[in-house]
Structure 1
Amino acid sequence: MARTETYDDTVKPRSGISLAKGPVAMIGIASLVFGVLGFIFANQSFTFDIPDGTVNGDTFLGVEGNGWTWTAFAAAGLLLLLGSPVHWGAKSMAFIVGVVMIVGALIAISDGTDILGIIATNNWTKLIMGAMGGVLVLLAMMPRVGQRRGGAPMTTRHERDDTRDDVEQQRRFERDRDHDTTAPVEPANGRATTTRGPLEDRR
């Protein structure tokens, strides 16, 4: 006898691994720490001379900056950290911060020693801002790997032959029945014998 087994064969979805979240978080931490340490150990002035004036700052690890410079690095790092827990957030923040950094580096190159008379820079500041912006824009294009969409719900039926199981079950039932119908009988000579037969016949 054949028996039909039904089970769910739906393909489970898999989100995959983001290639953007980890690197964006690391850059965010580095930028935040760099901005905070620069603000503590270097220039903390927030003076400005918009738009054509010149502002100067102190150097920290070779990078020149004033209060606005270190605040910009710290704010960029914080935004990257806030966006890094999810894939689309990491990519969005990486693109926004990256574009801002690249534009700031280009303005600093054209302006000379600062950005619009607000943010003090030197060559190392421009280099770090430009490199950081370029890497972030590239990270904004990183996809997920190993992603798999779930398939449509489907049911699979499997025909199973249970003939052998039924035969074994029938044999087991017959053995149990024979065992139940065996009862001792006390004959006239006092010796116990065993007879076989339905229980109804002995009652």
Structure 2
Amino acid sequence: MTIRVLVVDDQPVVRAGVALLLNAAGGFALVGEAADGAEAVSAAARLRPDVVLMDLRMPRLDGVESTRRIVDAHPSTRVLVLTTFAEDADLYGALGAGAIGYLVKDGPPEEMIDAVRRAARGEPLLAPPVLARVMARAVDAHTSEAARPRGAGRLTEREAEVLALVGAGRSNAEIASALHLGVTTVKTHVSAAMEKLALRNRVQAAVVAHRMGLVDDDFRVRAR
């Protein structure tokens, strides 16, 4: 399957570089480019890409707000942030807006290619330095009972079990195998858990699973 990609960045050289990497890797179709967030929202609606590679610092409309608009309008489109910055405001703003992953531009090219493929499959990905910041914040939040996610008490035992495996980075197929369930049943439990917890994507689910004590600091399922 060819992955349709929209590249959004206000620097033409960055867009050209990403295009070269995707073309060299194979299995991708660069369906469009955008130089700012407003163009990105319009292009996503017109082109319906599988993955949007999104810069954050852009004129007219920033990457956080354009990510929010794209995800809200087209839930099947995955937005993968690719930026120079790894500041907290950008990081949590992007994840809160529904981005499925967050990469820094100085990472290895093969890391970006792998991330786009994983994003197309609906798998979350955070670059190691970004993941460290997410974890640090999650650990701090976990120390306070007041930080317990709203709706956590409404989860069924099975939904909590599924959420733990989502937090451990398992795909729906892997969860189904581990729990001896059908993939459709797993999708139902994942959707129910995320709706009760008001989560937009699996990255947020992983952080919440940690805050609830369902996974440990290495994102491994805790023994129950």
**Normalized against structure 2, the TM-score is what?**
0.21
Q: Which has the larger radius of gyration?
A: 1
Larger helix fraction of residues = 2
Q: 1 or 2 for the larger relative contact order (CA 8 Å, sep ≥6)?
A: 1
Larger strand fraction of residues = 1
